[in-house]
Amino acid sequence: MALTPLPDALATILERVPAAPDAEEVPLLSAHGRVAACDLHSPMAVPAGDNSAMDGYALRAADIPGELPVALRITAGSPPGALPKGSAARIFTGALLPDGADTVVMQEDAIERDGTVSILGCVTQGAHIRKRGADIAEQDLLLARGQRLTPQLIGVLASVGVRSVKVYRRLSVAVLSTGDELVDADAGRDTIEPWQIYNSNRAQLIAQIEALGYQAIDLGTLPDDPDLIGRALEPAARDADCLLTTGGVSVGEADYVRDQIEARGELAVWKLAIKPGKPLAFGAVAGMPVFGLPGNPVSAWATFLLVVKPWLAAAQGAQLQPPKRVAATARFAVERPGTREEYLRVVLTGSGGGLEAQLAGSQSSGVLTSVSRADGLAVVPIGSTVTPGEPIEVLLLESLQSLYTS
Ligand code: AMP
Ligand code: MG
């Protein structure tokens, strides 16, 4: 079977996204990161009335030049009343303009003495007024179906008195590790034998899933046993929206995950033309999507972000937002053209248009520490080499791992 380029694999995987989950109403204060299940239009204008943008004096521009008696004092939170003809109102930021006033003069441009204010210099009619509806007009679209609720959107909704929002039920993602060599450090084992290793994929994937606002279901670790693995694929179908497995998807003698997906369900994608991350299997068992991720920790990390994350976003009902890529100058070489698109862990220095990309350390798919140091993944297209000094595209990790991208 030929290697599948990432865009083709993504197209196949996204074609198989199920219908959006059920919607539920949640309090606004618990809605962070959730995906809106319907459009929301503003029930009111913001500001609700013309108000002062400054501490100063509200008046009629036509009364200037001249000295005006200060007839009113209006603070934010107090009713404004009406401004008698030929007078000014002392006014503070956020206070509603009194009826009749058309201009605010800031206090730095006025002198108040014995209840009378004199204005220094000329005034511009309409100055320093925040007009009703200047920020939000009544019925403006504030939240679109499929948008994720950011803290700033939550602030916007709070500003029009919204108390709760309709969002899609949170997806749950089951995680199953496979491998005879694996030991879970939190399973009461303080020491391991020299032929064993600690399971890092389980911890890493559960952290990723939770950081993205999904519910992680830990199915633990299984040995490389085809029957045990095969049976684990089926019950998982009952209580999760999808299953992620790690390990056992290569072509070694103890690699059973791919075979078990194929034997018990449908295999739609196998082997990607990317490095790291080639041995990825995607399919469905008993109607539940299964991602068989590679066992190598960097490959599991990368395929989760490049393949599983877009699927999860789409299945959660979110609008797709590709992660940010920036241009940088390569400060490393790739001498031999590859047959897979390569994602190199890089550290970025400089800023703006002057970014430089240096390798973040070992690029082995077993070395997680260089991932933890990296700022981005430099993308080397299939068949390309890289010469130091050349421009290169870098996928920013901050954006790739963000809750708000897919
Ligand atoms: P596999 O995909 O099963 O061939 O595994 C590839 C490599 O990743 C082997 O060196 C495994 O020991 C290692 N590996 C597999 N699963 C994990 C895991 N959960 N945590 C850390 N390393 C793993
Ligand atoms: Mg293995």
Q: Which long-range contacts (CB under 8 A, 24 or more apart) does 255-261 make?
A: 255/224, 256/178, 256/224, 256/225, 256/226, 256/229, 256/230, 257/178, 257/229, 257/281, 257/292, 258/292, 259/226, 260/226, 260/229, 260/230, 260/233, 260/285, 261/233, 261/285, 261/290, 261/292
pTM of the model: 0.93
Q: Which ligand is nearest to the CA of 279?
A: 1
Ligand 1 atom nearest 249 alpha carbon: 2
Task: State the Cα–Cα distance between residues 262 and 281, nearest whole angstrom.
Answer: 10
The predicted-structure confidence for 4-60, as pLDDT tens digits, reads as follows 999 999 999 999 999 999 999 999 999 999 999 999 999 999 999 999 999 999 999
> 214 alpha carbon to ligand 1 midpoint, in Å?
24
**Alpha carbon distance 17, 11 (integer Å):** 10
| CB of 221 closer than 6 angstroms to any ligand 1 atom | no
Q: How far is the CA of 199 from the centre of ligand 2 (A)?
A: 12
Cβ of 196 below 6 Å from ligand 1: no
User: 33-48 pLDDT, tens per residue?
Assistant: 999 999 999 999 999 9
198 CA distance to ligand 2 middle (Å): 13
Ligand 1 closest atom vs CA 254? 3
Closest by CA position to 105, among listed 75, 72, 66, 60: 60
Q: Strand pairing of 325-330 and 341-349?
A: unpaired
Distance 201 CA to ligand 1 centre (A): 8
Judge contact between 12 and 269, C-beta under 8 A: yes
The span from the CA of 176 to the CA of 256, in Å, is: 13
3-state helix, strand, coil in the chain (%, to 5): 25, 35, 45
Which ligand is in closest contact with the Cα of 180? Answer: 2
pLDDT for the residue 191: 83
Mutate to test the pocket of ligand 1, among 296, 367, 368, 371 (most ligand atoms within 8 A of CB): 296
Return per-residue pLDDT of the chain as tens, 406 residues.
Answer: 689 999 999 999 999 999 999 999 999 999 999 999 999 999 999 999 999 999 999 999 999 998 999 999 999 999 999 999 999 999 999 999 999 999 999 999 999 999 999 999 889 999 999 999 999 999 999 999 999 999 999 999 999 999 999 999 999 999 999 999 999 988 766 788 999 999 999 999 999 999 999 999 999 999 999 999 999 998 765 689 999 999 999 888 888 999 999 999 999 999 999 999 999 999 999 999 999 999 999 999 999 999 999 999 999 999 999 999 999 999 999 999 999 999 999 999 998 779 999 999 999 999 999 999 999 999 999 999 999 999 999 999 999 999 999 9
Rg, C-alpha atoms of the chain: 30
Q: Which of 246, 301, 303, 368 to mutate to test the pocket of ligand 1 (most atoms within 8 A of CB)?
A: 246
